[in-house]
Structure 1
């Protein structure tokens, strides 16, 4: 399995996953033109990607969906009923085969075992995912105010995590953002702070060395130094974790 983060953050989110059997996108939050350009830079053909997993309906996760649908490459879209209901009528009319998924109900997808994870975000029915293929596992968790403790056992000891560390609280509160927006981000349906993300990773990484792609980093209210400080303060064994910072620039593929 190989994972490519094409873009991450409030300006757009999209992840490309492939193995020798299948390839798919998780979210399409940048324009179709940019998706094509980024895939070409990897030497990949966007027309060969026929499957999309959607986490939720916010623009920074579906911005390129209409363009993808008009291009005609997608054959199936996996999403919750809440996400489907929240899409525009124009998008819904162009959707190919849709597979309605539910949090906590795992399913098989082309030799992958997929477990949707219920998230806490101000969207209709947002989910994250754990993908297991052979002996390797990849967890995608962004856009959530917290991760319920009931999920810690099923999420622990993955080989790769795409987990958000969105903001530094002091920088957020000191920013020029409207107070209502600050409340939203800080709330249980907002985003994970650096400390919350680091504490969560410390609980999840138990018996193996894992990679953490730090995702959905606020450009205004966060930076790498603040994130690293939180990791040093809250991760007990720093040798168990390899940290990679995501942004709007594409990351090299990570092989598992």
Structure 2
């Protein structure tokens, strides 16, 4: 069974990833409005009405903005852990009971030949978790919105074929930027977001022989730039003896332009 995906949107303004096999298709988060999400699907030639469900990572608005409307418009199943459901109460409007499913942390759900595993991250949300997709012997890892990458996370996500990996900010840009110190401290904390350098250090410990592509995701609008993130990650990886462009490549993501549908 083959698997392909597209990062529909990634950044401070909204996040969503589309994953499909021959028999199923899912969305991870819907951080844009339903109208914007429909446009993203048009750009990749897919119909959101044919989704088999949406997996929620956590309740922050840049991950759930369109979930309620999409659930009601397309009658989609929504999967989230119990604490995230509680935290979303009042944020996504009414969702029918028959569309609400609990997906516990550190569990696996199987849809045909597609296995989806949830794992916890360190972020200032109720119970944030991300996902590993496995199909046809291939492994796709989605990991953003974490203040650090623990040894446990590294063990779970190691040697994936492809990663959508947070590279949120440049530390110097953040420190010199316009954000109040309380916000800077939150971003830099263990429940904030990983920097370009810390992301690359974590990548250097999980990249394996199977790894072919890494998509740098959830870049801060104010404290990062695509070229800077890519350069910082590449320099750190190459300093670790892992040259970009030989075994694996780095790719950008964008707040409004989906990545090409790519086979894992």
**Structure 2 spans left out of the alignment, 5+ residues:** none
Tell me, yes or no, if the aligned pair for 1:48 and 1:73 is still in contact at 8 Å.
Answer: no
Q: Which residue of 1 aligns with 2:249?
A: 242
Q: Which residue of 2 aligns with 1:125?
A: 127
CA shift at 1:234, angstroms?
Answer: 2.3
Deviates more, 1:10-19 or 1:107-116: 107-116
Deviations 1:206-237 (A, max 9, x none): 22332111000112111233323322332121
TM-score, length-scaled by structure 1:
0.94
Deviations 1:34-90 (A, max 9, x none): 11122122221111113110000000000011211231330x221111110011347
Q: Which residue of 2 aligns with 1:105?
A: 107
Q: Which residue of 1 aligns with 2:55?
A: 53
SS at match of 1:197: helix
Q: Which residue of 2 aligns with 1:84?
A: 85
2:42 is the counterpart of 1:40: yes
How many residues in Structure 1 have an aligned counterpart in Structure 2?
255
TM-score, length-scaled by structure 2:
0.91
SS at match of 2:94: helix
Q: Which residue of 2 aligns with 1:20?
A: 22
Tell me, yes or no, if the aligned pair for 1:84 and 1:92 is still in contact at 8 Å.
Answer: no
Q: Which residue of 2 aligns with 1:255?
A: 263
Using the alignment, how far apart are the partners of 2:23 and 2:198 within structure 1? 36
Tell me, yes or no, if the aligned pair for 2:19 and 2:26 is still in contact at 8 Å.
Answer: yes
The aligned runs of 1:104-253 (5 Å cut-off) are 104-235=106-237, 236-238=241-243, 239-248=246-255, 249-253=257-261
Using the alignment, how far apart are the partners of 1:94 and 1:107 within structure 2? 21
SS at match of 1:151: helix
Q: In the superposition, relative to structure 1, how do residues 90 and 145 fare at CA in structure 2: closer, same or farther (>3 Å)?
A: closer
2:95 is the counterpart of 1:94: yes
Using the alignment, how far apart are the partners of 1:92 and 1:228 within structure 2? 38
